[in-house]
Structure 1
Amino acid sequence: MRGKSQMQSIKLSVLDLVPQYNDVPPETALQEAIRLAIHSEAWGYDRYWAAEHHDLEGLACASPEILLSHIGARTQRIRLGTGALLLPHYSPMKVAESFHLLSCLNPGRIDLGIGRAPGGPAHASMALSGNFLQHVADMPTSMDALIKFFEDGYQYEGHPVKARPIPKEPPQVWMLGTNEKGGKYAAEFGTGYVFGHFMSEQDGARVLRAYREEFRPGKLRHFPETLVAVSVICAESEEKARSLTPPASSPIVNSLVGHPDKIQCELRKLQRTLGNSEFLVHCPIPDYEARLESYRLLAGQRC
């Protein structure tokens, strides 16, 4: 459980890119991801999400659903999901089958976060799925098919097709994005929306307001729900936190950096502005132990 801190009223979750820090082998990076998920559950985080990337040096997770299956066997409560699974690369039926299976193995604990990015260099994308730009253009059709599989209403040439095994509780579906276009997809298909605040220069309040106003209820979700992905570097002192900041070449637009009390205050301000129900926290500290400590402090834990 979380410590007795002001953070108790702010829901927190973990976003892990599964990095290979200091040239460690992928085996080590994956064990660190598992360790982070196990600690996150113990510290009261609501979700652990792993990202998908392809042929990017220093990142060790091309198939987050496989990693989540392993983590599910090592944990009991924490929700497990993708941040994000890159749908343009895949068949909607295959995705639905995989996440139905995960949902059967981990009842009531699976999230499917969907993204539209290639997740790697151009040639890797072409090797993986061919014409990626065409697949992105086909995204509305793919999303429609995926949602219908989860609603058990998909048909091919008039014949019902099911993505078996069918769990008692389907995965929660979320769309990830950094602008209004991603929010429009989420609203149109009745999914939750995750706004990538730490990777966006857009007005988050406007983006999320548009999603809420345009949301169409469906069988999977009756009301709009928003998560906000933030980058946090938390340490026991402001000076220590500043020393852990990654190089300026990092793709992160902004990070919340500082002592836990300062981070708490900043998150509350951001929540009042954006109206989100939960924060999905990415910690870009290039050191496994310091990263783990940052999550511990953020959760309000005591040694």
Structure 2
Amino acid sequence: MESIRLSVLDLVPQYNGVRSEVALQEAVRLAIHSETWGYDRYWVAEHHDLEGLACTSPEILMSHIGARTQRIRLGSGALLLPHYSPMKVAESFHLLSCLYPGRIDLGIGRAPGGPAHASMALSGNFLQNVTDMPSSMDALIKFFENEYQYEDHPVVARPIPQDPPDIWMLGTNEKSGKYAAEFGTGYVFGHFMSEHDGESALRAYRDEFRPGKLRQIPDTMVAVSVICAESEAEAHSLMSRASTPISKSLVGDPVKIHEDLRRLQSALGNCEFLILCPIPEYEARLDSYRLLTEQLL
């Protein structure tokens, strides 16, 4: 069995009612420590008008963190494409890739990322935008392949990086796996927020993957919720203090979490896990990420 690789997924929570400025400072601190501890990637989510979450623009936070780190890959988990122009997304992530060569991931999602009125205020008819998602994805891929045309006239999403961003789609079911396969992107299965176990979604993705200029072979990650502490009792105590239900979380000491991840890896066939730690205390959250790497990396 392949060795396990670990990456970080951060929702940029505002624990205990702290100001947005504090939550963003904690995001930077987590990213810097994650690089030191050996995590492969730091991905940040996008949400709109959701109380207690402080990041509405992953690309801005990624740029800020990129200037404070050296190696760790930086990504969106996810950028919500139905809200945006494909050209603007391509330009932004091309620019990030020029600033931080070989370090930028573009994770794409289809969810609204917030309540209905916020979605309408942001981009109008969100349901129609989701219906248009295939054409938006097609345009986005063409921009990254430098093959986009408007009325038969070439349009280029500048600046052009030497090393383009790595593109992934995030999802929670078989439909999303097939979608990622159709467009030849990597696929991240959201285990922690899915009603499904992931086997069928990942199988559909691998079976139907279409190679393209940006990716020749299928590649997968599994996003899992983890609460890790020095002891199982402490880990369950942390889980009990969480403000939202987290029944799909892996909870325990480092040895138990290692065993749980190995079982998931065996069932799902992935080598990389994107770790979300829903612990409602910043220091305990840092400790959870640190303990994971001491056991696994």
Normalised TM-score (structure 1): 0.95
What letter is aligned with 1:286? Answer: P
Match of 2:163 in 1: 169
On the 8 A contact 2:3/2:271 being kept in 1, the answer is no
What letter is aligned with 1:48? Answer: Y
Structure 1: runs of 5 or more not aligned: 1-7
Deviation at 1:9, TM superposition (A): 2.3
2:9 counterpart of 1:15: yes
Deviation at 1:248, TM superposition (A): 7.5
Per-residue Cα deviation, 1:255-294 (whole angstroms, up to 9, x for no partner) = 0000000000110010000001200000000000000000
Q: Distance in 2 between matches of 1:204 and 1:61?
A: 27
Q: Aligned Cα RMSD in Å?
A: 1.4
Q: What are the residue-to-residue correspondences of 1:60-209 with 2, within 5 Å?
A: 60-209=54-203
Per-residue Cα deviation, 1:188-219 (whole angstroms, up to 9, x for no partner) = 00000000001112131111011100000000
Q: Secondary structure at the match of 2:251?
A: strand
What letter is aligned with 2:176? Answer: G
Q: Distance in 1 between matches of 2:204 and 2:144?
A: 25
On the 8 A contact 2:242/2:278 being kept in 1, the answer is no
2:222 counterpart of 1:228: yes
On the 8 A contact 2:73/2:105 being kept in 1, the answer is yes
Match of 1:29 in 2: 23
Q: Distance in 1 between matches of 2:103 and 2:192?
A: 26
Structure 2: runs of 5 or more not aligned: none
Normalised TM-score (structure 2): 0.97
Q: Secondary structure at the match of 1:15?
A: strand
Match of 1:256 in 2: 250
Identity of aligned residues (%): 80
Deviation at 1:40, TM superposition (A): 0.1
What letter is aligned with 2:215? Answer: R
1:232–1:205 CA distance, 2 compared to 1 (3 A): same
Per-residue Cα deviation, 1:80-135 (whole angstroms, up to 9, x for no partner) = 00000000000000000000000000000000000000000000000000000000
Per-residue Cα deviation, 1:226-261 (whole angstroms, up to 9, x for no partner) = 000000000000000000005676254500000000
On the 8 A contact 2:242/2:279 being kept in 1, the answer is no
Q: Secondary structure at the match of 1:245?
A: helix
On the 8 A contact 1:192/1:226 being kept in 2, the answer is yes
Q: Secondary structure at the match of 1:114?
A: strand
Q: Distance in 1 between matches of 2:242 and 2:53?
A: 19
Q: Distance in 2 between matches of 1:54 and 1:46?
A: 27
What letter is aligned with 2:294? Answer: G
Q: Secondary structure at the match of 1:212?
A: helix
Q: Secondary structure at the match of 2:294?
A: coil
Q: Distance in 1 between matches of 2:175 and 2:159?
A: 32
Match of 1:239 in 2: 233
Q: Distance in 2 between matches of 1:263 and 1:64?
A: 28
